[in-house]
Amino acid sequence: MELLESLVCVDKNLPVPVYLQVANDVICAIRKGILKPGAALPGSRVLAQSLNLHRKTVVSAYDELYAQSWVDVLPRKGIFVAKNLPNVSPRALVATPPRTGFSQETLYEVDDTRVICQDMFVAPPEGNLVFNNGSPDTRIAPLELMIREYRRLASHKFNTKYLAYGPEQGSENLRTELAKFFSETRGLHVSPDNIIITKGVQMALYLIAQVLLNKGDTVIVGDPGYSMANEVFTQAGAVIAPVPVDEFGINLNAVEVLCKKQTIRMLFVIPHHHQPTTVTLCSERRMRLLELAKTYKFAIVEDDYDYDFHYSSSPILPLASADDYGSVIYVGSFCKTIASGLRIGFMIAPQNLIKQATRLRRLIDRQGEQLLEEAMANLLKNGDIGRHLKKANKLYQERRDVLCRLLQEKLGGQVAFTIPNGGFAVWMEYKNGVDRLVVTQKAAEMGLTIGSGCEHYHDPLVRHNFVRLGFASMNVEELEEAVDILARAVKKAEVVSG
């Protein structure tokens, strides 16, 4: 008894319960061999008196020791250190090689083909100039204005609510400001209840596909078109039906032929600066498309990723602004207008679809980033976003003009293109049999990353000689150097082709 009393040290100021302190000290003594297997332990009443503890505390300690198999309780005899103690020494894993790191393969089966998509965002070699797919220049993003709003929110007396769970549909303030913004700029008269905030257009497309599409449903898309949208629809089990795109936009005669042959569930369209060709769907085709949707009862997903950037003429209002039947789902984002890393997108649709999309959003992401959404709401409300878009619009028009002039001067009859009336890119064709793949390879060797164009076509093996040159993210000096490299790459490709 005196031995055990000296082995147990209780500190009632510790956060560990006293009964666990007693049990742990007894276990420690057994492990060290101070208390031998079969040794008798004092009764609970005696030990409680010697440690100046309540008897129930000691009883709880003994119960814990018994539960862990450190003691045996023999009726009418007492409590003894267990003769068969728990195995406390580590056991070697027989015939198992030592671990060298975290396993890179699962023990269970994973279908490597379950999710298939192109990797369109491979980082170019450091230092390379990049003709990307058409992205804004992050160097002119209104970062200081955003930081200002973060500071304002941080000092606000209600700031803590923005760090807790918020509306799954997105910030009510942001949805309210977006409704006003769309009414003023796009003729869209919607309420905040018609809007869900997403992390970019890609999330909006995923929500739409998962809510509306079933396995085997047919989705019409433009070809060439936006492959990342096609992959979302395919992942949902849909069958892609590509139709041609000409200088007036998606071919509606081909659309109507498909509608007469089979049931169409959805049509995806980029009517303003089509991705990748930059053409705008003409007014006549817009009205006809809405009538086809009404007649054949399919959904129209309208991706309006760069509506705010037009240079040569005023933009045509979105399809959604003329939709009286609830056919159009309108998606867009600030990722494409301000900065790619600013993950705020939106989806506008009738409330029954928004309700379903919100429920699905709750399952995969719960909600967006409230602080970011509140900051964006304030920037919209005080006009900062509008002023930034006007400034950026002027700058990107200048860069478009510079690129087109340089292409004419340095590549002349070797390429063909139409000057886009808006957006962030030029759709260019190599002439004289120059192989686009060879140009891409030669340009990369000289420090210029440029796409091959394959990613825009439903069939990547289709023979074409088009590439998309994004100009918005490069300044004048960078554009001059990039076109100079491109011109040299084309000359080297001509030698190879010859």
3-state DSSP helix/strand/coil percent for the chain, to nearest 5?
A: 45, 15, 40
Neighbour order of strands in the sheet with 40-41: 40-41, 78-81, 71-74
Give the whole-angstrom CA distance, residue 339 versus residue 360. 26
Last residue of a domain, one of 357, 382, 407: 382
Task: Name the band, by pLDDT with cuts 50, 70 and 90, for residue 207.
Answer: very high
Specify the pLDDT at position 93. 46
Give the whole-angstrom CA distance, residue 37 versus residue 116. 61
Pair 249, 350 in one domain: yes
pLDDT reading at 313 higher than 80: no
Pair 182, 290 in one domain: yes
Nearest alpha carbon to residue 427 among 448, 453, 402: 453
pLDDT reading at 324 higher than 60: yes
Q: What is the CATH number of the domain that holds 462?
A: 3.90.1150.10
Pair 433, 370 in one domain: no
Q: Which helix (H) or strand (E) holds 229?
A: helix 227-235
pLDDT reading at 251 higher than 50: yes
pLDDT reading at 131 higher than 50: yes
Pair 431, 459 in one domain: yes
Specify the pLDDT at position 75. 80
Least confident of 91-95, 145-149, 399-403, 456-460: 91-95
Pair 436, 317 in one domain: no
Nearest alpha carbon to residue 178 among 197, 165, 162: 197
The residues with which 416 forms a beta bridge, in sequence order, are: 429
Answer whether residue 323 is part of any domain: yes
Mean pLDDT along residues 96-115: 70
Q: Give the best-scoring range by mean pLDDT among 106-115, 162-171, 181-190, 262-271.
A: 262-271
Pair 196, 332 in one domain: yes
Helices (H), 435-475: 436-445
Specify the pLDDT at position 1. 46
Answer whether residue 100 is part of any domain: no
pLDDT per residue as tens digits for the range 141-179: 888 888 888 888 877 665 667 777 788 999 999 999 999
Pair 447, 469 in one domain: yes
DSSP state of 192: G
Give the whole-angstrom CA distance, residue 202 versus residue 211. 14
Pair 207, 331 in one domain: yes
DSSP state of 12: T
User: Do residues 466 and 387 touch, judged by C-beta distance below 8 A?
Assistant: no
Answer whether residue 416 is part of any domain: yes
Pair 460, 312 in one domain: no
Cis peptide before 315 (omega within 30 of 0): no
Q: Identity (one letter) of the amino acid at 386?
A: G
Pair 324, 450 in one domain: no
Give the whole-angstrom CA distance, residue 232 versus residue 236. 6
Structurally, the chain folds into a number of domains equal to: 3
pLDDT reading at 97 higher than 70: no
User: Do residues 415 and 431 touch, judged by C-beta distance below 8 A?
Assistant: yes
Specify the pLDDT at position 32. 80
Q: Cβ-count burial of 22 within 10 angstroms (0-12 exposed, 13-18 middle, 19+ buried)?
A: buried
Sign of the Cα torsion 124, 128, 133, 136 reads: positive
- What are the Cα distances from residue 371, in Å, to 75, 148, 194, 384? 65, 12, 21, 17
- The parent domain of residue 56 ranges over 2-81
Answer whether residue 95 is part of any domain: no
Helix axes 283-296, 252-261, angle to 10 degrees: 10
Give the whole-angstrom CA distance, residue 27 versus residue 22. 9
Give the residue, 121 or 36, on which the prediction is more confident. 36
